[in-house]
Structure formats: structure tokens, C-alpha cells
Amino acid sequence: MCARMLISREKGRFKEIDVVKTSLGQFQTRGEAWLTPVVLEFIRSRQPAILFDPFAGHGDLLRAARTAVGGKIKGLDIDPRTGWAHNDSLDHIPKLDDALIVTNPPYLAEHSARRKGVHANVARHYKQRRDLYQLALDRCQAACPYTVAIVPETIINSAYPKTHFTSITVLEQNPFDDTDCPVCVVCIDRQIAPPQNGPMLYVGERPILSLAALERARLCSRKDKRIIFNAQSGRIALRAVDLPGGDKPIAFMRREESDYPSEKIKISSRLITFIELQDVPDSRTDAVIANANRLLATHRKKTADLALSPFKGNTKAGKRRRRLDYRTARAILERAIDDESV
Ligand SMILES: C[S@@+](CC[C@H](N)C(=O)[O-])C[C@H]1O[C@@H](n2cnc3c(N)ncnc32)[C@H](O)[C@@H]1O
């Protein structure tokens, strides 16, 4: 069964949506790139007798884990075509002794379910959480002391409680063939005391910083300057996303340097915008732009980009593309006007 999703109101363009695949989040994990050394060590050191996937799908993820660490496997799925025992694991996951959950649950945010025309199929799941993967993580944690799950990378900057998380590993290599949703692997242990600085964050095998250090590195706006975003006559342009080629990263520039037509700047513009700094004389514009780009580069380096949202897959060179939200952009401009460093 298909539904239609509106892609462009102006151009009247729609996309066909497979209702079952979308409602059940049926995107299968391929390969074993997600089994990084940290993830493998987490699984091995818990010595599970059973690897358990309550959202098992085609089962490739379970089989990859079994090849790496041995033991028995058990899967459940709501879709009878998968051949696993039937269970609605968003309602309840049965407890299994000596098991470790290893899974890639369905992902579907409530607003996407509405946009894709499948909300009626999943509406009952949005009582506690706004995305199916978050409810799935709640159910996994209630059923089993240990969980390893591939989930959207946006969990890092989300409010989902990470008390028992021991690590979060961003996967730059896409583990799916039919979606490029940016993902990470979370390891959760409810038996040990929560790590003092929160989970350690990795990009692939590279340790970056703790979640507590990431929170400290975030740039917060002081709202002490008159900075107007989405101002058609603004002096500064902000390209707020990394372009796919890799040679045009997020940057502040003089509006003349941007070839974007000013009439396209709307109140809702999020990818490119013009900005007016009301209290800054034009003689300082270039210095503020240079400061802002320097502050942004330092911030990106310090946090390995993890404070910025992932945006539509990777650059041609395989690096995750990022988007700078306007709150952080404002915080950067405030510091750039005051000639501060981060
Ligand atoms: C993202 S796929 C992942 C499959 C497999 N874990 C993997 O990584 O390849 C999610 C799977 O969860 C199943 N699923 C969706 N909703 C479910 C529910 N409420 N209970 C159990 N399984 C569900 C889907 O049918 C699909 O097979």
C-alpha cells in the first residue's frame, strides 16, 4: 500500500511512500561496520549466552554479532514475513535470562509520520516519546540490563535520558542500503553505576570527548545583541549547511559573496540566510565575519562536529555533513562582535 508525501508545495511535487515499510521502519542493517572495537568489547565483556533482537527483521545484524562473539541468537518481529516469533516489541519485550539485546529498532518521528501520511498506523506509540526508536530503547532497557542499539545520531543532542549509556559511537559509514539516515551505536548497561561524565563519544574508532564535556562546549546565546536572522537586506550571509562536494562548508560571508537571491530568504529559511547586525558599523563587518568563521572552526574541531546536527548524509569524501542551527549561529556572532575566543 502506498501513500503520497508532499515534497514541494510550490512545485506540487509528491513522493510515493510504502506505508508498511515506513510504519514499521523496515530498513535492514548490512555488514559489520557497526561492530567497532568499543562495541565489540562491550558485548564480549558482558558474556551473554544469548544475543537477542526484539526488532529482528532480516536478522543480518544478529548474525553479524553472532559471527563476532558466538553464542545463541533469538529474534522477534511484528511482521510475520520475517519468520521470527511474533511480538509487538514497542508494547512489551519479554525478559530473557543471560541475554544482551543487540538491535536496530524502527525509527519514525511523529512529525515525519504525519508528513508521510502514516500517522494513523503508529499514533498509539507516541504517548511517552516523540520517536519510535526512543520508545524502543525504553522497552529494551526495561527488558534487559544490556542493550546495544543502532539509532539516529540525533539522539546525542536530544533530551532522551542517557543515564546508563556507557558509549555512543557515530558511524560515518552508512550501514544500510536503502536509507542514509545518520546513525550511531549506543551501548547501555543498567547494572553498573552511571559513568560520572556520561558516556564517551566516539566517531568510528576515535574517542572524542565525554557527553558532559560536549555539554560544556556548547555555545549558548546571551541574547545581548540585536541580531536579525532571515533579514532580506542583511549584510551577512550564512551558509548553514556543509555542501555535498566538501569544498563549501558552513560559513559566514558578505552577502555579496553568496549567489543566493535575497527574495528567496523567508522567515522559515534554515539552510541559507541573510543576517543583520543592528549595532555593528559596516567598517567592522569583515572583522566580525572573520571572527565568526574562526570561532566556528574552533568549535567544530573541539567537538568533532558532534554538537551540530547531522544533515542529509555525507560529503563526497565520506565526512558527515552538518547543519548549524541559528541559536548557535547567534551565540557565535555575539562572541565574534565582542572579539572573544572559545
Ligand atoms: C530497522 S528494521 C531492523 C531490522 C534488524 N534489526 C536489522 O538491524 O537489520 C526494524 C524492524 O523492526 C520491526 N518492527 C517494527 N515495529 C515493530 C514492533 N512494534 N514490534 C516488533 N518488531 C517491529 C520491523 O518489521 C523491522 O523488521
List pLDDT tens digits, range 291-308: 999 999 999 999 999 999
For the cut 80, the answer to whether the pLDDT of residue 341 exceeds it is: no
Whether 55 is in the pocket of ligand 1, judged by its Cβ within 6 Å, is yes
> Do 72 and 50 form a contact (C-beta atoms < 8 A)?
yes
Check pLDDT > 70 for residue 9: no
Mean pLDDT for the stretch of residues 19-31: 91
Residue 168 has pLDDT above 90, yes or no: yes
- Cβ of 183 closer than 6 Å to ligand 1, yes or no, is no
pLDDT, residue 177, reads 80
pLDDT of residue 201: 98
Instruction: State if residue 303 touches ligand 1 by the CB under 6 angstroms criterion.
Output: no
The rounded Å distance from CA 323 to ligand 1 centre is 29
Most confident of 14-18, 26-30, 223-227, 259-263: 223-227
- The pLDDT assigned to 44 comes to 98
For ligand 1, pick from 18, 55, 139, 178 the residue to mutate: most ligand atoms within 8 Å of CB.
55
Q: What is the pLDDT of residue 6?
A: 64
Whether 156 is in the pocket of ligand 1, judged by its Cβ within 6 Å, is: no
C-beta 179 within 6 A of ligand 1:
no
Residue 91 CA: nearest ligand 1 atom is 19
Instruction: Give which of 337, 235, 247, 248 is closest to 295, Cα–Cα.
Output: 337
- Residue corresponding to grid cell 550501514: 175
Closest CA to 17 of 7, 8, 9, 29: 7
Angle at 273 between CA 215 and CA 183, to 5 degrees: 45
Ligand 1 within 6 A of 29 CB? yes
What was the pLDDT predicted at 16? Answer: 82
* Domains parsed from the chain with CATH numbers: 2-215 (3.40.50.150), 227-337 (no CATH)
pLDDT in tens, 204-231: 999 999 999 999 999 999 999 999 999 9
The tens digit of pLDDT for each residue in 135-152 reads 999 999 999 999 999 999
Shortest-distance atom of ligand 1 to CA 88: 20
> Using one digit for the tens of pLDDT, what is the confidence trace for 60-105?
999 999 999 999 999 999 999 999 999 999 999 999 999 999 999 9
Q: How far apart are CA 232 and CA 234, in angstroms?
A: 6
Kindly state the average pLDDT of the residues 220-245. 94
Question: Rounded mean pLDDT of 172-192?
Answer: 91
pLDDT at position 266 is 74
Q: CB within 8 A of 289, min separation 6: which ones?
A: 236, 252, 253, 254, 336
d(CA 233, CA 283): 17
Give the chain's mean pLDDT: 93
Tell me if 175 CB under 6 Å of ligand 1: no
23 lines ligand 1 (CB under 6 A): no
Pocket test for ligand 1, best of 27, 61, 78, 93 (most atoms within 8 A of CB): 78
- How far apart are the CA of 150 and the centre of ligand 1, in A? 12
- Backbone φ and ψ of 304, nearest 5°: 45, 35
Q: What angle do CA 54, 57, 60 make, to 5 degrees?
A: 100
Is the Cβ atom of 57 under 6 angstroms away from ligand 1? Answer: yes
% residues pLDDT > 90 (the chain):
83
Confidence of residue 270 (pLDDT cuts 50, 70, 90): confident
CA nearest neighbour of 89 among 81, 99, 101, 100 = 101
**CA neighbor of 106 nearest in space, from 165, 54, 157, 147:** 54
pLDDT exceeds 90 at position 10: no
Which are the contacts of 186, defined by CB distance < 8 A and separation ≥ 6? 137, 147, 148, 149, 151, 155, 162, 165, 167, 168, 169, 199
Q: Is 60 in the pocket of ligand 1 (CB under 6 A)?
A: yes
Distance in Å, CA 206 to ligand 1 centroid: 29
pLDDT of residue 7: 65
Q: Which residue has the higher pLDDT, 316 or 16?
A: 316
Q: In Å, how far are 141, 197, 201, 227 from 193, measured between CA atoms?
A: 15, 12, 18, 44
Average pLDDT value for residue range 320-324: 95
Is any atom of ligand 1 closer than 6 Å to the C-beta of 334? no
Distance 223 CA to ligand 1 centre (A): 44
For 184-206, letters b (16+ CB in 10 Å) and e give bbbbbbeeeeebeebbbbbbeee
Q: What is the pLDDT of residue 57?
A: 96
pLDDT for the residue 158: 96
